[in-house]
Structure 1
Amino acid sequence: MNTSSQIWNFLEEIERDMNMFGRKVLHRYLCMPLTEFGSGVSMKGYTDGLIDEEIKNIGLNASSEILACSNGLVTPSLYDYILCAFFVIYVTIVLLGTILDVAGRTPERHFIVKFSLRYNWKHLLKTSRSQDYTRLKCIQGIRFLNMILVIESHVKLMYVWFNPKHPEYMEQMNQMLIVRLLNHTDLFLVQTFFMISAWLLVIKIYDIQKKLGRFSFKHMCIILLNRYFRLAVTLAISLAVIKSDLFMFNIVSPITIVTENARKQSCENNWLATLLFYNNIFYCKDICHPVTWYLSADFQLFVLVALIFYCALKYKLDHKYLWVTLYLTAYIIYGYHCN
């Protein structure tokens, strides 16, 4: 790079603007020869020379930092074949269950009917008439609103992540007041989901206390195990898919090649921490599948709330002092984290 160039100084000014994309780093596709580069010429030198030739007329020169090579071909491994076989078996069971369900030849309580598309669709559309469901309708409304915000934030993230052809469009949007407000909804929706999860757990704990007269350690363990397996099974399937090379065909840019390879390596190294939901504590910089931080935080808070209310009910702690202590502790932790 030529730091004395007027264009380079302009790029540095853009870099300091939070509403602008950085333009000091380029992600480029380059066709590399299959033969040797020549005597004393490395891949980095060859790459720098090609890019320098393109930008020499504007007074800049390039320096490659990360090289990601791919011939676009994926060679399936034994693991990939096993994973494919698993999905073929699963799809076969779903189709068989659907056929038997539609034909009406198998009782609805039969296990294979539980995989039926028709059976599951009916249960998705079924509305509960229980008293608990009626009382919690407002919570379902908040969840629906939050899911809209989740979709909105991820659509926005995809625009940024996949290198838009015209970045100035996104830059202009970021200067709009409504977009700036939406940019700050991520924290709101995450906190709301955590709050709802904890609130529903507390309701369940007090229901057990009311019906049985006590909330025992056994009850707490059962609740935590149910929560764990509810999250871990789906997460394990996701990690199994990430480990496979069969989905590398959709990588369309150099930055995603680097990212996918890094994520795959992280998942191979830290899969146990991910499945046990502590990867957001010890592996923040090398986290497997970044979105799993939310599952880890959710489960940790779930365990914490269960422990707090188990102790509060067992030892008959004064709820006023308990809430004051929790609020002060939360503020101290938050202040320390933001310092």
Structure 2
Amino acid sequence: MDTTLFTFIIFLYFSLVSSDNHRNLPPIYEMEDYLGCFERNDFYCKVDARLTNNGYENNSLWKLINDSISDRNSYDRTIIHRAICLPKREVNLNSTKKLSEFRINEKFTGNNLTVLVEDIVCNTKDNLNISLYDQLLLFFFIAYLLLIIYATMYDRWKRTSTAGSTKNKAIIALSLSSNWRKMCNTDGNEDYIKLKSIQGIRFYNMLLIISVHTLLSFNIVYISNPNDLEILFNNSIMRNYTTMSVFFVQTFFLISSWIVTFQIYNIYRSHGKFTISQALILIFNRFIRIGVCSTAMLLFLKSTWNNLARGPINFDAIDMVQRACKLNWWQSFFLINNYLYLGEICHPPSWYLSVDFQLYIMTTITIYLILKFKLNEFKIISFLIFFSCLLYGSIIYMKEMDTIYRINHNVTRMFLFVRSESCRILYLSTYSNWTTSLVGILLGIAYTKSKNNNIVSNKNRKIISILWFLIFFGLPCAVIFLARHEFTGIRAAILGALVKPLFSLGIGIGILGMSHKMGGLIKHICENKCVVLMSNFSFCTYVFQFYVIFSKGIESYSLMQFELINLIKYYLLFDAPLAIIFGIICTLVFEQPGINLQKIFLPQIARRKEQRKRE
């Protein structure tokens, strides 16, 4: 009893000391009056600064601040963020950096601390300068919407069949009602039916990615209670979730490579060959399919119309994106932007589109060479998996990186997040995701060779079902358990190279088993008709979610209050539903019309029966 009481007293003492220490530390975020600043026609600036010691070794406040650097469970208190109002007359005479340093240092007088400004972004009242580009964009967008309305009415009146003229086909391609009927059709060919579980997994995975972006959206804004966010990230459940979140996108890479693999094998079986021209047709059509929605998003983000959504919380993010769109638009257009830092990418989520397209090219080339020279598929893919693991592991070792890119309250502060070297290497790069793509190829080949065989007999069904379940759920869980621990050196290199393909292998085995009628309730959940229907809108939901999720704080003129319950409410009532609705609209307006027009005007690989008719 005495021991318990003593332990409780000690725990209470250190808790109170920790609480006092937080109160003594300089606030991480502070904001001055935004509306009052604009009424005076002054500059409102967001400043990212770093605290340094003036050389006094016995500075107790600096010791507390310095201790936070090595404490991974707390914010790095050497970095502070301020939103301040700078008088316009003084800004004209001095640089904003020097003036903001002077203003912030005034508040640290007597603490023996110095503030060094590392980044500053300013906003003024008169920031909506409509250019010719903005006017043309608005004109063509309205004209395009009117054309879609006309096409929808034309489709309703004429009910023209697809066997009509090219002109009629092109008009119907834009019809909202025609495209809605296509999107609602959940029937398909033999492969689509067997792999219908893929559609459900895509949709559920999209919901998980939205949840991660919801969490990130709170990390990049100014909040009044960062200590509560710090406590949340130190929760064991949150640690597992943030570790798992790094792997969500791997499922998309796995599925993409799987699908293109069996598509190419189907072409090979149908035509008796797979040629370079067929490979180029696939790649070109893939580029256009991704490019239609991606380009639409780029055009909108580059526009000054986005300044209508400027507020004290988000104007620096809008400025960063528009600057990136001005300088680096072509990397996003040609789908090669994943080698930039996130802050340099016009439409930051489009890094995934770049990696996906690059892996698509690599997959197509790999399978072409296998079929061309009749190589042993499993030996070649196994060798490439070994080589990609060796390559990625070597990069982790040489760059002295961790096993994975870790999401926590420190690295996701926008000032650090958009400039993160570890994010660029461990998460955005093509080579860090190549092994997952190769696992997708391997499983795609395995599916192609076994889809018409009954690999599960009545005798061994129970044993195989148990093994399937253990791999489907056990392997990803084991990977998350390993990945949540930090490693360095050779151990980080080995585990870093293996965790992504092992996670993907578990998901892939789950899909392969469901294609052979395994899974029971899990299969029904993944193949639910409504879920399969919603998966048809997953691509546009991902591309256009940026506008929905990262619009928080537009009408907020003070520090935002973070609470876990608010985070959940935002996700369930705002972010997820609106992102899906936005995805549905953009699918009908941009993606599906683009696919329809592709099939009409761009070269396609004809089916064997169609080719014989032409011959």
Shift of 1:175: 1.6
Cα distance in 2 for partners of 1:127, 1:207 equals 21
Cα distance in 1 for partners of 2:106, 2:326 equals 40
1:65 alignment counterpart: 118
Q: 1:160 to 1:323 in 2, by over 3 A?
A: same
User: In the alignment, does 2:158 pair up with 1:106?
Assistant: yes
Cα distance in 2 for partners of 1:146, 1:231 equals 19
Cα distance in 1 for partners of 2:94, 2:262 equals 68
1:139 alignment counterpart: 198
2:209 alignment counterpart: 150
SS of 1:105's equivalent? helix
Cα distance in 2 for partners of 1:233, 1:166 equals 41
SS of 1:29's equivalent? strand
1:115-155 Cα shifts (integer Å, max 9, x gaps)? 34433333322221532221011212221221122111111
Q: 1:166 to 1:122 in 2, by over 3 A?
A: farther
More displaced stretch, 72-81 vs 12-21? 12-21
1:92 alignment counterpart: 146
More displaced stretch, 196-205 vs 59-68? 59-68
Length-normalised TM-score, structure 2? 0.50
1:15 alignment counterpart: 69
1:290 alignment counterpart: 348
Length-normalised TM-score, structure 1? 0.87
Shift of 1:202: 0.7
Shift of 1:43: 4.2
Q: Are the counterparts in 1 of residues 52 and 114 from structure 2 also a CA contact under 8 Å?
A: yes
Shift of 1:193: 1.1
RCO comparison, higher one (Cα < 8 Å, 6+): 2
User: In the alignment, does 2:359 pair up with 1:317?
Assistant: no
Q: Are the counterparts in 2 of residues 72 and 249 from structure 1 also a CA contact under 8 Å?
A: no
User: In the alignment, does 2:106 pair up with 1:48?
Assistant: no
Q: Are the counterparts in 2 of residues 37 and 46 from structure 1 also a CA contact under 8 Å?
A: yes
Matches within 5 A, 1:1-339: 1=51, 3=53, 4=56, 5-36=59-90, 43-56=96-109, 60-73=113-126, 74-101=128-155, 104-109=156-161, 110=168, 111-253=170-312, 256-281=314-339, 286-339=344-397
SS of 1:323's equivalent? helix
Cα distance in 2 for partners of 1:2, 1:330 equals 43
SS of 1:214's equivalent? coil
Q: Are the counterparts in 1 of residues 101 and 117 from structure 2 also a CA contact under 8 Å?
A: yes
Q: Are the counterparts in 2 of residues 98 and 115 from structure 1 also a CA contact under 8 Å?
A: yes
More displaced stretch, 299-308 vs 262-271? 262-271
Q: 1:307 to 1:252 in 2, by over 3 A?
A: same
Shift of 1:81: 0.7
Cα distance in 2 for partners of 1:232, 1:292 equals 11
Cα distance in 2 for partners of 1:37, 1:295 equals 41
Shift of 1:284: 7.5
Shift of 1:79: 0.8
Cα distance in 2 for partners of 1:93, 1:76 equals 25
Could you tell me which runs of 5 or more consecutive residues in structure 1 were left unpaired when the two chains were aligned. none
**RMSD between aligned alpha carbons?**
2.7
